[in-house]
Amino acid sequence: MSDFIEFRHLRYILAIAESGNITRAAEHLFLAQPSLSKQIKDLEEEIGDAIFERTRDGVRPTIVGQVLIDYAKKALLERKTVLEITKTIHRVRETPLRLGFRLLLIQGCSNSFGSLMQGCFLSASYNLRAYTFTQALLAILIFACNEATGYTGRYRRFHTPKGAPNQTSKLHV
């Protein structure tokens, strides 16, 4: 007997249990019915007991089948949760943290702030950029609109025109 059941088997078992019919489950899974029947039959042979009781009206889970169905629901939900968490971690690691400061505040402590960021975030790097007051205000308005609408796309970066006075700095970590 194998010491594991693959996630696809769990999806198959749930689809059959939800539809109550192997043919409908196969259609839902985009599989041929004989293929699905064979995989369930092979799994039943490995387990040593029937998962489903086959009747004229379809299939019903056995006691063993109900245990597997309960396990499948939990395992597939946990798998989905783990995948979502890892994708979120990847997005967070790839998205720079942007902090804005008044230029006078950051001039005196840029080195110590950079050291602090390096200590807190293992792969932190920072880049000071100066923005005019108008550019900073526009960025705040865009952020507020994004929060209100849920927009997560990207806008073009602001560029300070040559010779324009710098009133704020933006820190990219």
pLDDT, tens digit (0-9, with 9 covering 90-100), for 84-137: 888 887 776 666 656 555 554 445 555 565 565 555 555 555 555 666 667 767
Output the CA–CA distances (angstroms, integers) from residue 163 to 46, 129, 137, 145, in the order listed: 76, 14, 19, 30
13 phi/psi in degrees, rounded to 5: -60, -45
pLDDT, tens digit (0-9, with 9 covering 90-100), for 125-154: 555 566 666 776 777 777 777 777 766 655
Q: Which of 1.10.3720.10, 3.90.1310.10, 3.55.10.10, 1.10.10.10 would CATH assign to domain 7-92?
A: 1.10.10.10
N-to-C CA span, the chain: 52
What's the pLDDT at 130? 62
pTM for the whole structure = 0.53
With residue 52 as reference, give the H or E element that holds it.
strand 52-55
- Over residues 53-66, mean pLDDT: 94
What's the pLDDT at 91? 73
Q: Is the dihedral of CA 152, 153, 157, 158 positive or negative?
A: negative
- Give the Cα separation of 145 and 147 in Å (integer): 5
Task: For the chain, give the percent of residues with pLDDT over 90.
Answer: 42
Residue 41 — very low, low, confident or very high, per pLDDT cuts 50/70/90? very high
Residue 74 pLDDT > 60:
yes
Q: What is the DSSP letter of 108?
A: T
Residue 33 pLDDT > 90:
yes
Give CATH 1.10.10.10 domain extents, the chain.
7-92
